[in-house]
Amino acid sequence: MSSIKVTRDSVCAADDQTNPLTLTIQVPGSESLQSLVTRIIYRNFLQFSSSHSTITGFVSGQPIVRVHANFSSGHQAEFLISPTSSVESCLPDGLLEFEWAGSNNSPRDFPSIPFCRAAAAGRNSA
């Protein structure tokens, strides 16, 4: 089991005073990216507002997941690499950084992350 550090940008000025901006999660080596993101969502770690409704998760500067706020039915993850990729292979440094990037609702190109190329190839063939 290893530790994953998750960070996030604050959503407003008071957010960084009342809510944590860093979360440490213990993960087994075989845990999937989808499972990790689901756990992050259910812990209510990510915060949203009407003007900040989509936050992007980055690994080494490359986007791998977007989480969209859905205030009535729960937040939804949009994976930019295969959601079945192991956390171990996609977060080799043990860091996942959520940031407000660009337009909160605009699609981005599929990332090219060297250590997740096999997962990306699997996603494109589905």
Tell me the percentage of the chain whose pLDDT exceeds 70.
Answer: 76
Q: Provide the sign of the torsion angle of the four alpha carbons 109, 112, 113, 115, taken in this order.
A: positive
Percent helix, percent strand, percent coil in the chain, to nearest 5: 25, 30, 45
* AA identity, residue 56: T
Residue 66 φ then ψ, to 5°: -120, 140
pLDDT given at position 52? 83
- Where helices occur in the chain by DSSP H, the ranges are 15-18, 33-42, 87-90, 117-125
pLDDT at 38: 95
pLDDT one digit per residue (tens) for the chain, 126 residues: 689 999 998 887 776 667 889 999 999 978 999 999 999 999 988 888 877 889 999 999 999 999 998 777 778 899 999 999 999 999 999 999 999 876 554 444 444 444 444 444 444 433
CATH of domain 2-125: 3.10.20
User: What's the pTM?
Assistant: 0.77
- pLDDT of 29-42, one tens digit each? 789 999 999 999 99
